[in-house]
Amino acid sequence: MAFGSLLTLLDDIASVLDDVSMMTKVAAKKTAGVLGDDLALNAQQVMNSAAEREIPVVLAVMKGSFINKLILTPLALLISAFAHFLLTPLLMIGGAYLCFEGVEKVLETFHKKRHSEVPKTSHAAAPADDGLSEKDRIKGAIRTDFILSAEIITIALGTMSEQTLATQSIALAVVAIVMTLGVYGAVAGIVKLDDLGFWLTKKTSAALNAIGNGLIAVTPYLMRTLGLVGTLAMFLVGGGIIAHGIPSLGEWLHHGSGWLGELTGLAVNTVVGVGVGAALVGVAQVGFRVLGKKHDES
């Protein structure tokens, strides 16, 4: 009897693990697009760090990402089970924040460019970085990761709606761990490409020297591209969350097919993202002025 119960238990465990494996693969495919945006955004967040601090910054943000997912995974399971109607509004709030951050980042970039254009006779130097301390940069990256992690977990959870709670919990944990390690491992590799290039230039092989020089030459352009892609990703992800949260617009985008449908969806997501972000920045600026005026009067 005991032996039979053990076999039944092992069979149940094997069945759950098989379901987890299948659900993890499906979730990975569904979240692939968000992961690309996550990679670009996080590489952008750490690329202004000093060379010797790049890996510590990546590790600090990765730690924050694990904590985000540790909070979000059980929270998503609870909301899905008892208040499923809250998932979309909460995601839309997070998407709106991403759009807000995107517009702020664009405005800051224009502001820095304008103030860095000094006369040739001046000895003033353009700022070398984004002006943020390492601690602030890490906090900002973790905040952005929180929203992206929420979308990844929600999308992954959506592929498991027919599964048991145990299967959903294990599969989400696997997805969270694998994707976090994958994204931040890739970010660490990207920010260290130039160091790899310098290391290769010191080798005796002419071929390795050529590869090293190529990496050194390409890395600055790659980092600038990632910066642009990361900012664009804020609008695409944030705008996409909001657009798909609006029933009529989301249904229309969902029925788009082929490359034309994909391009239309990207364009709509970007326009929505920029529009919402600009509106929120405008509201915030008016609010700060009103509050500042009231503070001065008091």
Q: Is 162 helix (H, G, I), strand (E, B) or coil?
A: coil
The sign of the dihedral angle between the CA atoms of 261, 263, 264, 270 is: positive
Cβ-in-10-Å burial (0-12, 13-18, 19+) of 112 comes to: middle
**Quick check: 278 pLDDT over 90?**
yes
Higher pLDDT: 249 or 86? It is 86
pLDDT digits (tens, 9 = 90+) for 178-228: 888 888 888 888 888 888 898 999 888 888 899 999 998 988 888 788 778
Report the candidate in 183, 190, 229 with the shortest Cα–Cα distance to residue 68.
Answer: 183
Tell me the pTM: 0.69
Q: What is the dihedral of CA 196, 198, 203, 205, to 10 degrees?
A: 80
- DSSP 8-state class, residue 131: S
Q: What percent of the chain has pLDDT over 90?
A: 12
